Every structure is written in C-alpha cells, then in structure tokens.
Structure 1
Amino acid sequence: MGPGERNTSRFSGEPTSVVRRVSALLGAFELRDTHLGVNELARRTGIPKASVSRLVQEMEAIGFLERSGTKVGLGLRLFELGECASRGRSLREVALPFMADLREATRQTIHLAILDNTDVVYVEILRARGAPRFPSAVGRRLPAHATGVGKALLAGSPNDVIEAVVAAGLRRIGPRTITAPGSLLNQLRRISTTGLAYEHEESAAGVACVASAIRVGNGPPVAAVSASGWIGKVDIRRVGPAVHTAALSIARVLAADAGQTPFGSR
C-alpha cells in the first residue's frame, strides 16, 4: 500500500471486547485528523455505526473525546493520562537539557524516540531554525528501519525484534529507504560496532541524520537521540560524536536515577 493509500478498516475483523473497541476508536485518529464523524470512525475501525455512536457518547462523557459540532476529536483526559506515562515523561525530563545543548552545539533539529514493536515513536523534538520539513512529530510513529533513531534502536535490540521488523516488510518511506533485508542487517552490524546510525533521505527527501542509542545496563536501548538537517548543509559525520556524547550523558543520568550502571561503563 502506498503512502497516499489507506485501509478502509484497521482490523481484519470487527473488534469485540469493549477495551479493543475503545482502542480501535482512539487509534482511528491520525496525525492530520482533528475531528472525525461517526461514519468515518465506523469505516476506519469496522465497528458498526450504532456501536460507534454509543461508545463515542460514553468516551465523550469521561473526557476521552471532545465534540465539535457533529464530529469528535481526542479529549484533554488523554493528554493528562499521557503526561502520567512514566517512561516517556521521565525519559523526556532527563533528556531535554542534553537535547537543548545538542541543538545549540550542532544547530540541527534534535529528536528523541523510543521503539514500539516495529515502529519508532517520537517523544520529543527540538526543531532548529530553517530545518527541513521532517515526517516526524511528537507522538507520531514511523517504521524503525526508515529512520536514524530506529536503526540505532534496532542495532541494540534482540534478534527477534529485528526479525519482526524484516517480517513486517521494509516499506519505502523516503527516496532511499532500505528495502533489502541484507542491506539493513549489514548496517545494523556496523551501527552496533560504532554506536552511530546514519540516515540519508531514508525517511524523507533532502534529510540527513545521525543517531545514537541510549542504553542503561546490559539490556536493549531505552531510547535514541538524533540530529537531523539538510543534506549538503550538515556534515553528519562531524556531528556524530556530539550526538553520541549526548546519548551517553542521558544514559548516565537515567542509570543514576535507577541505581544502575550505564551501558559500557566499567
């Protein structure tokens, strides 16, 4: 399916439990959607229209959805719950000062992301002046194989995670997205050795990026940080050491908070 195409249903069959139906309705909203009508929610989820109407009313009553005319959008209560998500919040709070320093030093846009299944989810973005129009946004998902942060995270992940990414299909996102499993695996081996993942127009045209994983203890990375800018205007290999230093610094603080040892420390 191409970037401009959309499934008419997010599920192979109608979700039956209340929890799955609520999850389906919330998941029907995409980044560009502010409000959706009942008909569109039913079409995207495969849930009968009558059930959608009833669930929407209940979700609106508890603040999960907010009404605007005949349509509804995501409600304030979801934002409040998101702020309570301990992993994203503590990680973001620790990383922000180092991200700000990295943006000041490199004059590039700085991303912080985590791995969720086969995607990366962006936790924070500090944009630089005159930056390209990135496909990333806070809270947005992108396929891990098509981003610098994603490759940095995959390089430190267990084999079953990498196998799941390959099995899901290496979908093309940008002009130079890696779509061959062998090429991806070769890159991941190099990244695991150097600690730096490079991206050249793999997530979007004109974009260059260098990323480094944030690791605490001997487990898989908890997140990755990157610096991104215009190809031809940023020498990402010169920026790389600063990105790696920022990742190590964030890891040290996270490890100290958790009473653990940063990855690679003796």
Structure 2
Amino acid sequence: MHLEFHQIDAFSERPFGGNPAMVYRLDAWLADELMQRIAAEHNLAETAFLVQEGAAWHIRWFTPTTEVPLCGHATLAAAHALFELYKEPGERIEFICKSGELRVTREGVRLVLDFPAQVPQPLGEPQELAKALGVEALEVLGTDKLLVLLDSEQAVRACKPDFAALAKLPWLGVIITAVGERHDFVSRFFAPAIGIDEDPVTGAAHCSLIPYWAQRLGKQELSAYQCSARGGELLCRLEGERVKIAGHSVLVASGRLWLS
C-alpha cells in the first residue's frame, strides 16, 4: 500500500522559503497513531491530512510529536494542493476542523485564509518567561499561546530563547512581536512543547497578532513579516471576528510513502 504526498512551501513565492508542509489527500482516515508516525517520519512543523466528506474537506494537522487544533501554513498548503494538483473546481475551499469552519479563497496569485480571530488578553508576566526568552517584555498577553511585545524588530530578530525552559511553560507556544521597520509588525513563534523549536511562518499565530496590531495601530489591513531563518510575508486583514491572511505558496516535491 502506498500514499501520495506533496511538500509545499507556504507563504513563499520561491522554493526553500516560507514554511514547508506535507499534504496527504486520503480516501478515508488512517488510524491516529499511523498519522502521527507519518508526521514524525517527515519531521516538518506540520503534516496535513485531508478527507472529503460531502461538499467540505475535513482537515487535521500533526507536528512530529502531537496533533494540533489549528494550523495556518499547512491549510494554505492543503488548498494549494487541492487547487493546483487535484484541480478542485471553483475559487473557494471549505475546510472543517476541530476549531470549526475554515475557508481558503483564490485572489489573483495569492491564497487567502479565512480564520477565526483569537483576541489575546493581558496577563501578568509568567514566572520564568524573561529568563526563557532572554529579553525584556513590554507587554504580555495570551490565548492558548503567549503573545509577548518587544521594543523593536531588532530585539525580535536577535532573541535566542532557552527552548527547554520555554517547553515547560503551560502554553501551546510563545509569539514575540514588535513594530516592523518595513512592515506594520514582525514576529517569531516558538513551540518546543509540541516539537517545534521555531516555526518558520505561522498562520495560526496571526489569528492573535492581527487583532492585537489592528487595535494598537488603528488599522484593519496590515503587512506582516515572520522573521525566522526562512522568513515569510503575510498580508493581513481584520474583519470583525475573522481574520484574512493572504500569501503565496509553491510546490517543491511530490512522492509516495510505502506502508508495506
């Protein structure tokens, strides 16, 4: 038995940029343990599995160590695979996941994610956070992730966290962010507790970043850059309780996984 897979770099116009995701279109769900083992084998930030049920596509995402409730870049990659490789008709794809309904539309050369906004709430600075990040926070907020405001883009780029210490914090991950020099804001995202020391470009983190910066800057449309080593640019828009996140994507590899 074999399964077809596609590796797609999301939030990038060129190969080897943005955030790579592996995509499997399945006829029926595999056992959870097997999907987790497949994700561990690929060892990318996320592997997405898709099954069509009725008019909608159901989607699940796995890091090398665990299943996650929401992933932006792998959803963008999944939509790219469906549109470009499997010739899904129309200009919009509906996804169903554990976090609810997601939509991806084609707008010119970009794909646009339509995700729920996750408005972060102010927190006191958690014990050990400053030591784990090695930088001073101006503000700390949270949802299922911590959002930490720093004083400059340079501080975001220069941050060298203690990943073992971050993994002990009781949050899914930690976002650091600041006003950008050429973009409205920049960010980085660390999630060692779920097997990802640093995620190259994180759509789900922008579900919190967009409402935060929209309120702080007084604007609904924002340009963003996640300044990891690979890096990625996102065009963002706040629309009520939803966020729109637009980006490019590119196929870099296809192949077969043999199970017997």
- TM-score w.r.t. structure 1 length? 0.28
Q: Which has the larger strand fraction?
A: 2
Higher relative contact order (CA 8 A, sep 6+): 2
Q: Which has the larger helix fraction?
A: 1
